[in-house]
Amino acid sequence: MIATKSFLPGETILSTSPQAYLPSENEERCATCFVKSTSLKKCKGCSYAHYCSRKCQIVDWKSNGHSKLCKYMVKLRKQLRNQSELSDAILLIKTFSDTSRRDFVSSMCFHVPTSSSLERSSKRLIHTIQSTVPWISKCSKEKLLQTLYRFGSNNFAITDDLLLKTGAGVYPEGALLNHDCVPNCVVTYDGLVQNIRCIRKIKEGEELTHSYVMFVVLLNLQHLTPTPHHTPTPHSTLQHRYVDVFATTKDRQDDLCMNYNFKCKCSLCSSTNDDRDSWIGEKSRRSDVLDFAERFAMRAHAENDVKQEIALLHECLRLRESCCHTYDRLILKTRNALMSACLSQGDYKQAALHCEIVVRMYSKIYHPMHPMTALQLSTLGNLRVEIREVEKGLKELESAVHVLRVTHGKDSSLVHSIEALIRDAST
Ligand SMILES: [Zn+2]
Ligand SMILES: [Zn+2]
Ligand SMILES: [Zn+2]
């Protein structure tokens, strides 16, 4: 996609609703608005879709294709082997239930999987869908299969303001943007609306890009109030396969090639003097030490006593630091877990210490306008205000909100809440 005019940082270049979407935790999120609740009501027809309100149920029925899916859900669930196949099937059926943007969907590129078992299971999935849902059997098998393949390299993980995954969506217009490891745009969501904003000045005629490289480490640390451990799990056989940003250039390129079928030739990938690779990855092949460290991490994860958990994590960190580079994702993961544990203990001072190191790691690995660094920086600012290091905290909150205005928009609720925090802390 090429810019037909110039853009300033923070300007929205594309704002679209999904062609089809589904929540990441079916029983915990409303299928229409993604609100998380413990009192959702099941659809009486299929007992599968969950809603927060009658209004959301009607929207799903009338506009999101549930009326064309509901009565086949029971049979589909019986026939499909796992949740990921079911997610693919629902997205596919919903995509085909609305014809208005079909042209856009068919403009997305696709690749036949290189693995023959994946190809076989995809064909089997289409066969099951066609034999279960009569109206879709009118569409050609080939067309359905191609759309399924398109999902593999084009679908988006929908995230909340804190970049935690809330679901998956088909955004055919957004899918037109190519990848760059140092992109000029970033994708965020306002509910289900996908916003693509520029993160730097863009000249007319320049290609618009965003990064397909996602963040895959534990993301449970953006709040002062600790949230339960959140592990992003692969949702589907064909969708949302992540390429890790905390990977060496070679690993990143291999992942992009495997998941998206291209060899990245961006400035970062072709740079020869990039010393990033020497900061991440294993220093030495000490798999015995790493295995040992992993055991400490697992024990820490299962530990109910926070003090004990922290002690185990420190042991794990010591071992990992002995054989990983400073910015290795394993170290990041341990620091994040330590910060989380300190937060739940109410030890904000220690939490701030770990948070500061995590911010440093993010700033080194991500490009300067990456929302992840800004989110972590806002947590750090928040913590500093709590421990009465107000001046430092305010500076961090200001830098965070400067980036978040660009990535999430000036009017996002996240930006407003940080602005309010700055106002409160300054008085
Ligand atoms: Zn709802
Ligand atoms: Zn239903
Ligand atoms: Zn690249």
Structure confidence by residue, pLDDT tens digits, 345-358: 999 999 999 999 99
Angle at 373 between CA 231 and CA 199, to 5 degrees: 115
| Amino acid 225: pLDDT | 31
Ligand 3: centre distance to CA 299 (Å): 37
Q: What is the pLDDT of residues 228-258, one digit of tens each?
A: 233 333 333 333 344 556 667 777 788 778 7
- Locate 4 and state its tokens: 């037909």
Ligand 1: centre distance to CA 41 (Å): 10
Looking at residue 208, the DSSP 8-state letter turns out to be P
Closest CA to 105 of 168, 176, 10: 176
Ligand 3: centre distance to CA 263 (Å): 8
How much is the average pLDDT of 146-161? 87
Whether the predicted pLDDT of 56 surpasses 60: yes
Choose the weakest-confidence range: 131-140, 233-242, 317-326.
233-242
Ligand (nearest to CA of 33): 1
Greater confidence (164 vs 16) lies with 16
Ligand 1: centre distance to CA 151 (Å): 25
| Amino acid 222: pLDDT | 34
Ligand (nearest to CA of 213): 3
Query: Could you report how far apart the first and last alpha carbons of the chain are, in Å?
Result: 46
How much is the average pLDDT of 291-310? 93
Q: What is the DSSP string of 316-335?
A: HHHHHHHHB-TT-HHHHHHH
| Amino acid 43: pLDDT | 95
Ligand 3: centre distance to CA 384 (Å): 36
Q: If DSSP codes are grouped into helix, strand and coil, which group holds residue 156?
A: strand
CA distance 394 to 360: 17
Whether the predicted pLDDT of 420 surpasses 70: yes
Whether the predicted pLDDT of 318 surpasses 80: yes
Whether the CB-CB separation of 412 and 255 falls below 8 Å is answered with no
Whether the predicted pLDDT of 223 surpasses 70: no
| Amino acid 361: pLDDT | 87
Spell out the long-range contacts of 100-105 with Cβ–Cβ below 8 A and sequence spacing 24 or more.
101/19, 101/172, 104/19, 104/172, 104/173, 105/19, 105/147, 105/150, 105/170, 105/172
Ligand 2: centre distance to CA 44 (Å): 6
Greater confidence (152 vs 186) lies with 186
How much is the average pLDDT of 128-139? 91
| Amino acid 309: pLDDT | 95
Whether the CB-CB separation of 424 and 390 falls below 8 Å is answered with no
Q: What is the pLDDT of residues 4-16, one digit of tens each?
A: 999 999 999 999 9
CA distance 190 to 166: 12
Whether the CB-CB separation of 20 and 170 falls below 8 Å is answered with yes
| Amino acid 39: pLDDT | 92
The helix or strand, by DSSP H or E, that contains position 342, with its residue range, turns out to be helix 329-344
> Which of the given ranges, 211-215, 256-260, 277-281, has the highest pLDDT on average?
256-260
Closest CA to 246 of 143, 167, 325: 325
Q: What is the pLDDT of residues 371-395, one digit of tens each?
A: 888 999 999 999 999 999 999 999 9
How much is the average pLDDT of 54-69? 93
pTM (2 d.p.)? 0.84
| Amino acid 227: pLDDT | 31
Whether the CB-CB separation of 336 and 218 falls below 8 Å is answered with yes
Ligand 1: centre distance to CA 220 (Å): 24
The helix or strand, by DSSP H or E, that contains position 178, with its residue range, turns out to be strand 178-179
| Amino acid 228: pLDDT | 29
Whether the predicted pLDDT of 194 surpasses 50: yes
Ligand (nearest to CA of 34): 1
Choose the weakest-confidence range: 59-73, 230-244, 392-406.
230-244
| Amino acid 260: pLDDT | 78
353 exposure class (CB count in 10 Å sphere: 0-12, 13-18, 19+): middle
Closest CA to 74 of 133, 158, 1, 29: 133
Q: What value does the mean pLDDT of the chain take?
A: 85
Strands 185-190 and 213-214, sheet pairing = unpaired
Query: How would residue 273 be classed by pLDDT, with cut points 50, 70 and 90?
Result: low
Query: How would residue 277 be classed by pLDDT, with cut points 50, 70 and 90?
Result: low
Spell out the long-range contacts of 271-277 with Cβ–Cβ below 8 A and sequence spacing 24 or more.
274/249, 276/248, 276/249, 276/365, 277/248, 277/249, 277/250
How much is the average pLDDT of 330-339? 89
Domains of the chain and CATH, by start: 19-146 (no CATH), 222-281+325-426 (1.25.40.10)
Ligand 3: centre distance to CA 419 (Å): 34
Greater confidence (284 vs 77) lies with 77
Angle at 85 between CA 79 and CA 87, to 5 degrees: 115
Rg of the chain in Å (alpha carbons): 22
| Amino acid 67: pLDDT | 93
Ligand 2: centre distance to CA 58 (Å): 11
Task: Return the residue matching tokens 């079916």.
Answer: 26
How much is the average pLDDT of 399-407? 95
How much is the average pLDDT of 181-197? 92
Ligand (nearest to CA of 90): 2
Ligand (nearest to CA of 181): 3
Ligand 2: centre distance to CA 296 (Å): 44
How much is the average pLDDT of 131-146? 91
| Amino acid 371: pLDDT | 87
| Amino acid 106: pLDDT | 79
How much is the average pLDDT of 186-201? 94
